[in-house]
Amino acid sequence: MSKLNWVMGVVLSLGFSVGHIPAVQAQKELNLYSARHYQTDEALYSDFTKKTGIKINRIEADDNGIIERLKSEGDKSPADVILLVDASRLWRAQMQNYFAPIQSPYLEDRIPTNLKAAKEARGVAWYGFSTRARVIVYNKANVKPNEVDTYEKLADPSNAGKVCTRSGAHPYMLSLVGSLIERNGMVATQAWAKGMVANMARNPRGGDTDQIKAVASGECGVALTNSYYYARMLLSTKPEDVSAISKIGFIWPNQNAGGVHINISGGGVARNAPHPKEAQEFLEYLATDSAQAYLANGNNEWPAVTTIKVDNVALKNMGSFQVEKVSVADMGKNQIAAQKLLDQVGYK
């Protein structure tokens, strides 16, 4: 008797018809397109798979790379979840119809209104899952903190030749300007941008860590940076970082004038997600207590869910602060106006 015939005989003797042989259940999975390039997220994804049995297939690139990939793939994109790291980028992806709005009472309850897209009839396109602040660092030897303790003061003539920032085309800058447009209006924000250009110590260039180091070296008197870059240097044991931190001061801007500007890392379900149920389950997982604490601690950020306590030495050392009331969705939609405004005043 052949091996095949023997197997079929056993199957029939157990009472199964050939057409009803139990199939091996395929593992559930989802395809994640992520602009979060932090190695610390690995444990987060592993925990999700352990808890749900859903395997994560991950594609990582910067935000532009993710959006360009979605554009080239079109309706055949295999993406289930899209994670991006700035309100302006999330708004851009929403306007290009890359998200499928979802209905999730859990996320509606957990994520504050100002940290997610506006609710539509079909649901919400994207949610913020962690926050970071746009803070000010200054050279303690050359600048007094009361001279640079608001975004507006950076444009004051008294700070001529002292200011350093990223490029005016960078999303971090566009989101800040988008927020200032909401807070102060277009005319006042344009005047502020002109003042910033007049006060530059050098043409805008480099990333946020470059701005911090330039302040420490004395090339710049004052600079803008995302809070987590400063927190990384606070935690660093590299001699050059320890030396740099000792030379700079840190400010939560606008504590008596509208609060510090915040931005988000967030995401949503992709428009043509082949696994929409698993995709929504993943987003809801990101709003759980354990995932929120890990997202924040992993990159020195704060949880979007306000009830979560974060045990992070650097963040504790940076102290408490007042946050702006502007919706990240509103600052995102202002990015086109922000870019036009910056171009008009010659903000490179």
Domains of the chain: 29-130+263-309 (3.40.190.10), 132-261+328-344 (3.40.190.10)
**262-269/127-139 β-pairing:** antiparallel
CA nearest neighbour of 144 among 80, 91, 221, 46: 221
Would you give the end-to-end CA distance of the chain in angstroms?
81
CA distance 208 to 222: 12
Question: pLDDT at position 25, please?
Answer: 55
Two structure tokens written together for 20: 């009803």
- Residue type for position 207: G
**CA pseudo-torsion sign 105, 93, 30, 111:** negative
Question: pLDDT at position 340, please?
Answer: 97
Question: pLDDT at position 17, please?
Answer: 40
- Residue type for position 205: R
> Which stretches of the chain drop beneath a pLDDT of 70?
1-26
Question: pLDDT at position 41, please?
Answer: 84
Two structure tokens written together for 260: 């510090």
Phi/psi for 141 (5° steps) reads -80, -25
pLDDT tens for each residue of 111-162: 999 999 999 999 999 999 999 999 999 999 999 999 999 999 999 999 999 9
Question: pLDDT at position 16, please?
Answer: 39
**222-226/163-164 β-pairing:** parallel
Question: pLDDT at position 13, please?
Answer: 42
Global pTM reads 0.88
User: Do 279 and 107 contact (CB within 8 A), yes or no?
Assistant: no
Question: pLDDT at position 197, please?
Answer: 98
CA distance 152 to 216: 22
